[in-house]
Amino acid sequence: MTKKMANTSGGGVIAPTSNISLVHTTMEALTTRAPGLPGIGTFYGRSGLGKSFGAAYASHPAGFNGIYVSCRSFETKKSLAEQICKAIGITPKGNIPAIVDAIVEVLSLSGRPLIVDEVDYVVDSRTLELIRDLHDASGAAILLIGEEHLPAKLKRHERFDNRVLIWQPAVACTVADFELLAKQYASEIRIDPELKKRVLAETQGITRRVVVNLENIKRWCDRQGAKEAPADCNVDLYTGRAPGRAGL
Amino acid sequence: MARKPIHLEMAGMLTPRERMWQAIRQKRTFTCMELQEACGRPMLNLYSIQDYLLALARAGYLKQLNKQGQDARAKFDQVRFELVKDSFEAPRLDKQGRQVEQGTATLAMWRAMKALKEFDYKDVQKAATLGKVCEVSLQTAKSYVTALARAGYFRTVRESAGPMPARYRLVRDTGAHPPAITRRKAVFDRNVGEFTWQQTEQEVVDGLE
């Protein structure tokens, strides 16, 4: 594990922030689990925490090589099965059992994990059973990605719940993550520690907002011709909050 | 291994290597000539088939059922092979039977676009780079994203403005294979088997001089 993480450090790569490491450890645990253990993992959290980058990491062809699908609100068993076929690169033929057999064949033959994003859309429908069937038949590792209420929603399905090996929440941006992101998005600028704190607090550690603010700070410095962003620089921090009602 | 394997039909247009592999999985045991026959038209070069079979044998996917004669090339067609290690995807190997990594970067970018949903070329570059295993330069990511944008794969979320690159959303996910940029700078998508963007004659002329 440590070896793979060491490979992802350095400039111009997915910043090995906490969430990428968490996806890495989760995938590692799922794919190397002992026989007999269930192989479903969940990765969940508020939007903007970097779950999509985690999904990209898990489906990277030179990494875990996961088969990535993303659920939509109207997903049915058949449409999800067809999406998986498309992601694998086979032509779906026949009824659902035939298609599922084909998918199971590929999953067990290739050992590729399945990554299902936006699981919230199917969690209340019977489409979820398809995922369980695929898991039971193929023994493939499956990573479910969803919003923060995913565990509560999944726990309602008892038969599903006890197949989940790992419940992994995505975490908010830490100070260390901030440093990594700053190195990537604004490497040439020194940011005052006070400003860093302010950005983390105002954005509530949501990675996407942190990145937007780093870009704003960088642009501010470029305009000023400065190499340093002081604590009191008048950059409008992006907080993601809807603007309040304009005062009359 | 009692169960008969399900016949899986790969989607999109197949490369010669994939056609051979699909025929191998169907026949299980075969000679070189039989395989050429099974691959159909357009007829594959017998030497490329031999090279691939030897590479597969070296990598342990195939077993030779009988020994070949003295004159290797002439007697090669008498050698029977058997599939002993199955795989869904056609193994990509060089002549020595080692794994070939070529094309991983494009595939990684194509998959990253699907997972990221909304992205600019810098995001794609970051997501597709995996340390030393898969290195994608900003220039590569930029030209790939620009080419696919021209070919109509994206919806523009935000136009580029000054130093801020354009943000896109993938709306035309045609399949598992990444669309390829050909040497003529056209975009070819083998999922659907067509050119999704080509230079017009005028643009070619404009590029001269």
Please report the ipTM that was assigned to this predicted complex: 0.85
Q: Between chains, do A89 and B138 touch, taking CB under 8 Å as contact?
A: no
Q: Which of A9, A10, A61 sits opposite B111 (nearest CB)?
A: A61
CB proximity A44 to B under 8 Å: no
Which residues from chain B sit within 8 angstroms of residue A70, using beta carbons?
114-115, 117
Which residues from chain B sit within 8 angstroms of residue A13, using beta carbons?
126, 129-131
Average pLDDT over residues A96-125: 94
The larger pLDDT score, comparing residue A233 to residue B170, is at B170
Q: What's the pLDDT tens digit per position in B94-108?
A: 888 888 888 899 999
Tokens of A65: 């090589």
Q: Measured between CA atoms, how close is A248 to chain B, in angstroms?
A: 32
Band (B170; pLDDT cuts 50, 70, 90): very high
Asked if the model's pLDDT at residue B40 lies above 90, the reply is no
Q: Which of A7, A70, A91 sits opposite B9 (nearest CB)?
A: A91
Q: Which of A56, A88, A101 sits opposite B6 (nearest CB)?
A: A101
pLDDT at A202: 85
pLDDT at A225: 82
Q: Taking CB atoms and an 8 Å cut-off, how many pairs form between chains A and B?
A: 110
| Closest CA in chain A for residue B7 | A102
Q: What's the pLDDT tens digit per position in A133-188?
A: 999 999 999 999 999 999 999 988 888 888 999 999 998 888 888 888 888 888 88
pLDDT at A82: 95
CB proximity A114 to B under 8 Å: no
Domains of chain B with bracketed CATH? 6-83 (1.10.10.10), 104-177 (1.10.10.10)
Query: Strand, helix or coil at A70?
Result: strand
CB proximity A223 to B under 8 Å: no
How many Cα atoms occupy the beta-carbon half-sphere of B91 within 13 Å? Answer: 25
Q: Measured between CA atoms, how close is B46 to chain A, in angstroms?
A: 27
Asked if the model's pLDDT at residue A37 lies above 60, the reply is yes
Band (A6; pLDDT cuts 50, 70, 90): very low
Which residues from chain B sit within 8 angstroms of residue A117, using beta carbons?
115
The answer to whether residues A139 and A105 touch, using CB atoms and an 8 Å cutoff, is no
pLDDT at B166: 94
Asked if the model's pLDDT at residue B70 lies above 70, the reply is no
What mean pLDDT is reported for chain A?
Answer: 86
Most trustworthy range by pLDDT among A88-102, A158-172, B64-78: A88-102
| Closest CA in chain A for residue B177 | A89
Q: Measured between CA atoms, how close is A96 to chain B, in angstroms?
A: 15
The answer to whether residues A227 and A221 touch, using CB atoms and an 8 Å cutoff, is yes
Q: How many CB atoms lie within 10 A of CB A199?
A: 26
Q: Which of A52, A91, A109 sits opposite B11 (nearest CB)?
A: A91
Q: What's the pLDDT tens digit per position in B145-165?
A: 999 999 999 999 999 987 789
pLDDT at A203: 86
Asked if the model's pLDDT at residue B68 lies above 70, the reply is no
Band (A131; pLDDT cuts 50, 70, 90): very high
Asked if the model's pLDDT at residue A3 lies above 50, the reply is no
Asked if the model's pLDDT at residue A114 lies above 70, the reply is yes
Q: Which of A52, A57, A88 sits opposite B117 (nearest CB)?
A: A52
Q: Which of A4, A105, A115 sits opposite B8 (nearest CB)?
A: A105
The larger pLDDT score, comparing residue A239 to residue A94, is at A94
User: Which of A56-60, A93-97, A233-237, B192-196 has the lowest average pLDDT?
Assistant: A233-237
Q: How many CB atoms lie within 10 A of CB A129?
A: 14
The larger pLDDT score, comparing residue A30 to residue A223, is at A30
Asked if the model's pLDDT at residue B3 lies above 70, the reply is no
- The string of DSSP codes covering B59-89 is TTSEEESS---SSHHHHGGG-EEEE-S--SS
Band (A14; pLDDT cuts 50, 70, 90): low
pLDDT at B187: 93
pLDDT at A245: 64
Spell out the alpha helix ranges (H) of chain B.
16-27, 32-39, 46-58, 72-75, 104-116, 121-128, 138-150, 201-207
| Closest CA in chain B for residue A8 | B131
Band (B4; pLDDT cuts 50, 70, 90): low
Q: What's the pLDDT tens digit per position in B89-143?
A: 899 998 888 888 888 999 999 999 999 999 999 999 999 998 888 889 999 999 9
Q: What's the pLDDT tens digit per position in A181-212?
A: 888 888 888 888 888 888 888 888 888 888 88
Tokens of A151: 């565990």
pLDDT at B2: 43
Q: Which long-range contacts (CB under 8 A, 24 or more apart) does A24-28 make?
A: A24/A57, A25/A1, A26/A143, A26/A166, A26/A168, A27/A58, A27/A64, A27/A66, A27/A113, A27/A141, A27/A143, A28/A1
Which residues from chain B sit within 8 angstroms of residue A88, using beta carbons?
88, 176
Query: How many whole angstroms separate alpha carbon B116 and alpha carbon A68?
Result: 11
pLDDT at A13: 56
pLDDT at A244: 62
Query: Strand, helix or coil at B133?
Result: coil
